[in-house]
C-alpha cells in the first residue's frame, strides 16, 4: 500500500509554440511533475534551456484550463546509463519509469493510463 507521499502529479500541456510542436499531439506537447511537500507543491520541469525546480502554494497556480493532470505512484528509481534530455526523459527518471520507447508526452500519458 502506498502513502499519499508516494504520489506525484504529472501535468500535460499543449501548444508550447516550439518549432517541434507540430510533430507532437496537440494536447500533449510538454509535461512536468508536481509533488506535494509540507503543505506546498514542488514543481520539477525540464524546459529547453534549463531544469526549473520551484514551489507553489496551490496546485491550481500552475494548471491551465486546458491542461491534463494525472496522478501517479512513484517507483524506486534505478539510475540508467542513458536518458533523453527532454521533459519526458526527466519525468520518467523522476517517476521511476524504465520503459525505453516512451519518447513523447502523449506516449507517456498512454503508458500511465495502463
Distances (CA, A) of 88 to 39, 74, 77, 103, 108: 26, 15, 15, 6, 7
Which tens digits make up the pLDDT trace of 61-71? 899 898 999 99
| Average model confidence (pLDDT) across the chain | 85
DSSP-derived 3-state class of residue 109: helix
Q: Which of 15, 6, 1 is nearest to 71 (CA)?
A: 6
Enter the pTM of the model: 0.84
Q: Domain span at residue 21?
A: 4-113
Q: How many domains does the chain have?
A: 1
Q: What is the C-alpha separation between 88 and 68, in angstroms, rounded?
A: 15
The total number of residues shown for the chain amounts to: 114
Which tens digits make up the pLDDT trace of 42-93? 999 988 889 999 999 998 889 989 899 999 998 887 777 677 888 899 999 9
- As separate numbers, helices (DSSP H) first and strands (DSSP E) second, the chain gives 2, 5
Residue labelled with grid coordinates 507540430 = 22
Amino acid at each position: 500500500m502506498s502513502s499519499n507521499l508516494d504520489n506525484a502529479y504529472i501535468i500535460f500541456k499543449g501548444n508550447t509554440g516550439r518549432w517541434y510542436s507540430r510533430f507532437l499531439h496537440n494536447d500533449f506537447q510538454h509535461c512536468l511533475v508536481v509533488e506535494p511537500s509540507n503543505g506546498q507543491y514542488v514543481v520539477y520541469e525540464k524546459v529547453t534551456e534549463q531544469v526549473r525546480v520551484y514551489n507553489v502554494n496551490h496546485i491550481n497556480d500552475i494548471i491551465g484550463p486546458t491542461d491534463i493532470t494525472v496522478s501517479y505512484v512513484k517507483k524506486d528509481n534505478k539510475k540508467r546509463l542513458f536518458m533523453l534530455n527532454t521533459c519526458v526523459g526527466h519525468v520518467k527518471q523522476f517517476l521511476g519509469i524504465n520503459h525505453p520507447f516512451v519518447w513523447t508526452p502523449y506516449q507517456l500519458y498512454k503508458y500511465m493510463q495502463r
